[in-house]
Amino acid sequence: MKGPPIRVCVYCGSRHGRLPAYADAARRLGTAIGRRGWQLVYGGGHVGLMGELADATLAAGGTVVGVITEALMQREVGHRGLTELHVVRTMHERKQRMAERADLFMALPGGIGTMEELFEVWTWRQLGYHDQPIGLLDVAGFYQRFAGLVAQMVAEGFLAEEQRAALVTGNDPEALLELLAGQARRSSAAPDDYSRI
What are the structural domains of the chain?
A: 7-185 (3.40.50.450)
At what angle are helices 112-126 and 91-100 packed, to 10 degrees?
60
Q: Pairing between strand 7-11 and 39-42?
A: parallel
What was the pLDDT predicted at 35?
A: 98
Per-residue tens of pLDDT for the chain, all 197 residues: 467 899 999 999 999 999 999 999 999 999 999 999 999 999 999 999 999 999 999 999 999 999 999 999 988 799 999 999 999 999 999 999 999 999 999 999 999 999 999 999 999 999 999 999 999 999 999 999 999 999 999 999 999 999 999 999 999 999 999 999 999 966 544 456 677 77
Prediction pTM value: 0.94
The pLDDT tens digits of the residues spanning 129-182 come to: 999 999 999 999 999 999 999 999 999 999 999 999 999 999 999 999 999 999
What was the pLDDT predicted at 76?
A: 75
What was the pLDDT predicted at 193?
A: 67
Give bridge partners of residue 69 from the DSSP assignment. 88
- Cα–Cα separations (whole angstroms), residue 40 to 52, 54, 125, 139, 171: 12, 7, 20, 19, 19
Q: Which of 98, 125, 100 is nearest to 113 (CA)?
A: 98
Q: Which of 76, 113, 102, 128 is nearest to 10 (CA)?
A: 102
Chain-centre distance of CA 17, in angstroms? 17
CB 183 within 8 A of CB 104: yes
